[in-house]
Amino acid sequence: MAGHKTLDDLFAAIDLKGVRVLIRADLNVPMLDGAVSDATRLERVAPTLTELAGRGAKVIVLSHFGRPKGKPDTKYSLRPVAEALATFIGGKIAFGEDCIGDAAARAVEALAPGDILVLENTRFHAGEENNDPDFAAALAENGNVYVNDAFSCAHRAHGSTEGITHFLPSYAGRAMEAELRALDAALGNPQRPVVAIVGGAKVSTKIALLGNLVKKVDALVIGGGMANTFLAAQGKKVGKSLCEPDLLDTARHILANARAANCDIVLPTDVVVAAEFKAGAAARTVSVDDVPDDMMILDVGPDTLKHLAGRFETAKTVVWNGPLGAFEVPPFDRGTVEAARIVAMRSKQGELVSVAGGGDTVAALNEAGAADDFTYVSAAGGAFLEWMEGVELPGVAALARK
Ligand code: AMP
């Protein structure tokens, strides 16, 4: 992993017994009725915490939680998340009432080698989101070494993701290392041909992403509601479908850039349509040349899926963001589920490398029962999308600098 020091580099450099290691985790987990409702992010950071604690480090965890607007707000306290983390790793975890100042210093002082401490929400201070150097320095006072294990927060230049790296030797944790390795295998130095699948509701949220992908991949499959805008840009009638008429020129521009870059754009050739968007609605399959005026496109059709299966047959790398149809409502989940299962199966057989991420994508792959067999599924939302856009992530760049 070029440019980033990992925990192996840290272990080679110093004996960690008694050393205070500050770890930026992403403990911003979804909660329901005061309990963690999805522990994926805890699961991802746990190996780094236990590995460092196992080496006798004093492990001090930093994270934001929610949007408390730069001042303390008990609604956004990390205390219940720290308790869930303790249950998750099956050990004791101490809690510090603040992430800087006397309260933090006292909590750190009380640690023995191998102990783990979670400090209170970094966003209880305005200096976190402003990336105030004084705040970053105050955070850094509690550690000898900094480890960033929160790729999902790396698209923000905040005190605990970027500022702090100016004060401490900085390393990538295990989850960060795995994420960067997977992303590099997908778009950095991928095995070709690379097929990208971009679906979801709207072109407007993914213009930069599409613009970057056409320069990097061999084929770009466009599905979901956003495909309708591309079909309309080619003069097809899309009936009542979700469509962004003001983006027809943008779509044409992307198509022209793809041609210039030798990237095949793959649009649906047949689609599943219905008069209304509800579960079990009467649906039928039509060619993209025959979408009725009073119907809407809600999924890709079987011919399109057959074509995609052929693409996956020869692809060596698949990068996926966004569902191919309105997957939350059956039968419009079929395109996404079937395509995901083929990619999962070929990944499991070692035939291709598959990397997926961003918002609804993970939910769609879970629904298809495909997520476990993908090579890598990112738990990051915004950071994954910005990476797909080709944007340099400040939290990652800061690690490369150190
Ligand atoms: P995004 O957050 O941009 O990835 O969009 C995900 C959303 O796109 C999901 O809620 C899907 O239901 C929706 N979606 C996908 N295909 C369609 C379609 N053909 N028409 C309307 N919505 C769609």
pLDDT in tens, 292-319: 999 999 999 999 999 999 999 999 999 9
Cβ 200 under 6 angstroms from ligand 1: yes
Domain 190-388 part of CATH 3.40.50.1260 = yes
Domain with CATH 3.40.50.1260 in the chain: 7-175, 190-388
The first and second tokens of residue 87, run together, are: 């249950």
Average pLDDT over residues 327-355: 96
**Alpha carbon of 324 to ligand 1 centroid (Å):** 8
Lowest mean pLDDT among 137-146, 239-248, 268-277, 365-374: 365-374
Cβ 225 under 6 angstroms from ligand 1: yes
Question: Which among 101, 359, 381, 390 is annotated as catalytic?
Answer: 359
Rounded Cα gap, residues 123 and 68, in angstroms: 6
More confident residue, 346 or 36: 346
Q: Among this protein's residues, is 382 annotated catalytic?
A: yes
Q: Among this protein's residues, is 58 annotated catalytic?
A: no
**Alpha carbon of 237 to ligand 1 centroid (Å):** 19
Q: Among this protein's residues, is 211 annotated catalytic?
A: no
Cβ 325 under 6 angstroms from ligand 1: yes
Q: Among this protein's residues, is 41 annotated catalytic?
A: yes
Alpha helices (runs of H) in 94-235, residue ranges in sequence order: 101-109, 126-130, 133-140, 174-183, 207-216, 224-233
Rounded Cα gap, residues 173 and 189, in angstroms: 21
Average pLDDT over residues 134-152: 98
Q: Which of 400, 393, 352, 360 is nearest to 376 (CA)?
A: 352
pLDDT digits (tens, 9 = 90+) for 9-22: 999 999 999 999 99
Domain 7-175 part of CATH 3.30.110.30 = no
Report field, pTM of the whole predicted structure over 0.95: no
Whose CA is closest to atom 17 on ligand 1? 225
Rounded Cα gap, residues 100 and 138, in angstroms: 6
